[in-house]
Amino acid sequence: MQGPAVLQWDKVIHKGIRSSNGEPIGYIAAEDGDSIIVLSSHFNEYQIPKAYVDAFDGSQVYLDLPFNELEQYRV
């Protein structure tokens, strides 16, 4: 079993975030319990469950969620 992709959520605030197919989404604005709040460059806001965070390379967060499925998490 693999551990969580991010251990310190405060380290990913203001970092860029990408979908599983590599599309840039925006940046992480905040952490909210079991979710992250993402603001996109198109003025959209998403509340995405942390369970979809797949990796963090120090500058970008990668989701295990394709870009076309983001709409269901739009706030």
Each residue's pLDDT tens digit, 1-31: 455 677 688 889 999 999 999 999 999 999 9
Identify the pLDDT of residue 9.
87
Identify the pLDDT of residue 1.
40
pTM of the model: 0.88
- d(CA 1, CA 46) in angstroms, rounded, equals 28
- d(CA 7, CA 41) in angstroms, rounded, equals 26
Identify the pLDDT of residue 42.
81
Identify the pLDDT of residue 4.
60
pLDDT band at 41 (very low <50, low <70, confident <90, very high): confident
